[in-house]
Each structure stands twice: as structure tokens, then as C-alpha cells.
């Protein structure tokens, strides 16, 4: 007898009550974890857990496929009693969904994901695990009850998966044609009439932040609880304080973090190229409330990396 057979025998020996307690307890554990390790941009707990989180995207495909297969067997076989195959697949899909959600909670927590879409994805995933568990509890019910519970589990899973797809890609995915990335402009045009005052935040600072920082400090990911996609957010700052304090370079963490030694753990950005001398200078002048000279602005903007996607129209 293999260990898998032994597990199956044990599960088979459970009364309905015992099985129900197991399913409820497993799902309550997910709910508790979602509160202990919430997706809010801060990191708690041992970082080694993040390795398990890295398996979320791999892990979720298995139960998604198996959940779909169970009602197919049911439908074509049409047995009043669930067959051994249906039982195995159904229990496996419930356990797999639970595991994928566990990895997902860790993945979101340790990668700075935050925001409404993530919350929806998280609770959708927990719902999918709960309904897949329910479907496996109803295996001794009639054909119709089993099929209905399996279809509901698929519905909830599809909803969670769709939100997940929108998080990775963008809203409206997959029913939207892909944008073709626009070629990077050769010349950076700073569009200001001669003599008029340039809006340094909107025209120089924001595009640099957008290209180098917002990927980790924006609406989807808020590492260090810091968003950098508006001036308000820079002033509000993150868990360590304001990123922008007018007139004070030493207190403005958006300056402090980019001027450390690049080998420093706190150096920003943590990935990708460091900011250029001109970009750092543009930040400093902006914080000090001084106008950014044209040559600095142009050189700073020319060094921003090309956006991954064409900007939204």
C-alpha cells in the first residue's frame, strides 16, 4: 500500500462531520493568514516564507484544471453515486485550490502587492477554496447536487482567476486587444512656451518616478507602504516617513534613498539601473523648490527607461 493509498483510506474513513470540520478548519486557517499577513505593502514574518509564495502562479494551474475536469467526468458518466475517480479528483482539486491560495497569500504579502484588486483576488481565492472544499464534502449527495456544487466552485475560481489576470496584465484583460508599445522617442520634447514656467513635477519628476519607481510604489505594489504616483503620496510617505519634504533634502526619503552607496541595502531602486546624476539632481532641485534647468531636465528625461506599455490614452 502506498502512502497515497493510505491517505485516501484515512479520508474515506472520516465521518461527514469530521470531514466538514477539516474543511472548515483549513479554510479558517487561510482567513487567519490573510489577516496576519495582509497585502498592504509591509512585510512581516520570516522572509523564507516568500519562497513558498513564489510557487503561487505555478501552483494555481493544477487545481484550476482539475476543478474543470471533475464535472466533465460527472457529466459524461452520469452515475448516481460519485465514482472513485470523481472522488479522487474532487478531493485533489479542493486540496490543490487550498494550497494555491496559501501560496497566493504569501506571494502578495512578500511582494508588496496592495489595493482593491488584490483584496478582491484574495477573497475570491479563499471563496474558491471554500467552495471546492464544499464540493468535496457533497460527494455522497445526488448527481445534481454534486454537479451544481462543482459548477459553483468553478464559477468562484474563474472570478478570482480573472481578477488575478487583470492584476498581472491590465483591466479588461483578456477581452481587449494588446497595445503595441510605442517606440521610444529619440528627442525628449519639453513642451513649454518660451518664458513660461515649466511644471517641474508633472513634466520632469513624475515621468522619472513613473519609469523607475512606480512599478514597486504604485497602485498594485506599495513596497514600504509608499506610493510614488502622486505628489500627495510622496508627501504622505511610507512606513519610514515622507518621501518629499519641501526644502529638506535630509528628510526627503526620495532623495536619501537614491543617493546612498549603491551597495547599501536601502539603496533605491532595488532593481534596475541606479538613477543618473541628472535625475538625482532634478529630484534635489525639485525638493529644494528651485527650477530645474532645461539641460538637466532634458538629460534626466532622456535617461528614463522606455515604458513597457504605451501610455494610456
Could you list the residues that contact ligand HEC (CB under 6 A)?
Answer: 112, 212-213, 215-217, 223-224, 226, 237-241, 243, 253-254, 257-258, 266, 268-271, 275
**Residue among 132 and 258 whose Cβ is closer to ligand HEC:** 258
Closer residue to ligand HEC, CB minimum distance, 8 or 229: 229
Q: How far is the CB of 47 from ligand HEC (least distance, A)?
A: 11
Interatomic CA distance for residues 47 and 119, integer angstroms: 21
Nearest approach, Cβ of 255 to ligand HEC (angstroms)?
8
- The SS3 call for residue 145 is helix
CA distance 232 to 135: 47
Under 8 Å between Cβ of 288 and 247: yes
Shortest Å distance, C-beta 222 to ligand HEC: 9
Q: First and final CA of the chain: distance in angstroms?
A: 62
Among residues 128, 117, 98, the alpha carbon closest in space to that of 29 is found at 98
Enter the C-alpha cell of residue 173: 484583460
Give the 3-state secondary structure of residue 79. Answer: coil
Q: Among residues 86 and 254, whose Cβ is nearest to ligand HEC?
A: 254
Q: Which three cell numbers stand for residue 149?
A: 456544487
Tell the smallest beta-carbon distance from residue 230 to ligand HEC (Å). Answer: 14
Nearer to ligand HEC, 156 or 205 (CB): 205
CA-CA distance, 160 to 60, in Å (whole number)? 11
In whole angstroms, give the CA distance from residue 52 to residue 135: 26
For residue 241, list its beta bridge partners: 238
Please say whether the beta carbons of 45 and 37 come within 8 A.
Answer: yes
Question: Is 113 in a helix, a strand, or coil?
Answer: strand
Smallest gap, in angstroms, from Cβ of residue 102 to ligand HEC?
A: 22
Minimum CB distance to ligand HEC, residue 221 (Å): 7
Task: Select 56 or 257, whichever has its Cβ closest to ligand HEC.
Answer: 257
For ligand HEC, give the closer residue by CB, 198 or 225.
225
Amino acid at each position: 500500500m502506498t502512502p497515497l493509498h493510505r491517505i485516501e483510506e484515512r479520508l474515506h474513513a472520516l465521518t461527514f462531520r469530521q470531514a466538514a470540520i477539516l474543511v472548515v478548519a483549513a479554510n479558517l486557517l487561510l482567513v487567519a493568514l490573510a489577516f496576519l499577513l495582509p497585502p498592504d505593502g509591509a512585510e512581516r514574518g520570516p522572509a523564507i516564507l516568500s519562497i513558498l509564495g513564489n510557487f503561487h502562479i505555478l501552483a494555481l494551474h493544477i487545481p484550476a484544471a482539475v476543478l474543470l475536469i471533475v464535472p466533465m467526468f460527472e457529466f459524461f458518466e452520469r452515475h448516481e453515486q460519485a465514482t472513485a475517480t470523481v472522488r479522487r479528483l474532487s478531493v485533489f482539486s479542493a486540496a490543490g485550490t487550498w494550497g494555491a491560495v496559501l501560496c497566493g497569500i504569501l506571494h502578495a504579502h512578500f511582494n508588496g502587492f496592495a489595493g482593491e484588486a488584490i483584496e478582491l483576488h484574495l477573497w475570491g481565492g479563499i471563496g474558491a477554496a471554500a467552495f471546492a472544499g464544499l464540493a468535496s464534502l457533497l460527494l455522497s449527495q445526488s448527481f445534481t447536487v454534486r454537479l451544481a456544487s462543482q459548477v459553483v466552485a468553478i464559477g468562484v475560481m474563474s472570478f478570482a482567476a480573472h481578477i488575478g489576470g487583470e492584476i498581472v496584465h491590465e483591466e479588461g484583460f483578456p477581452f481587449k486587444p494588446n497595445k503595441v508599445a510605442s517606440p521610444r522617442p529619440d528627442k525628449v520634447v519639453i513642451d513649454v512656451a518660451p518664458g513660461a514656467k515649466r511644471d517641474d513635477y508633472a513634466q520632469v519628476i513624475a515621468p522619472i518616478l513613473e519609469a523607475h519607481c512606480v512599478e514597486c510604489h504604485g497602485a498594485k505594489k506599495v513596497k514600504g507602504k509608499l506610493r510614488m504616483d502622486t505628489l500627495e503620496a510622496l508627501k504622505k510617505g511610507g512606513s519610514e516617513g515622507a518621501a518629499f519634504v519641501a526644502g529638506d533634502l535630509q528628510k526627503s526619503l526620495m532623495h536619501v534613498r537614491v543617493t546612498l552607496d549603491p551597495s547599501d541595502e536601502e539603496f533605491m531602486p532595488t532593481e534596475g539601473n541606479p538613477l543618473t546624476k541628472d535625475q538625482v539632481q532634478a529630484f534635489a532641485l525639485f525638493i529644494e523648490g528651485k527650477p530645474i534647468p532645461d539641460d538637466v531636465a532634458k538629460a534626466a528625461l532622456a535617461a528614463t527607461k522606455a515604458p513597457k506599455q504605451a501610455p494610456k490614452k
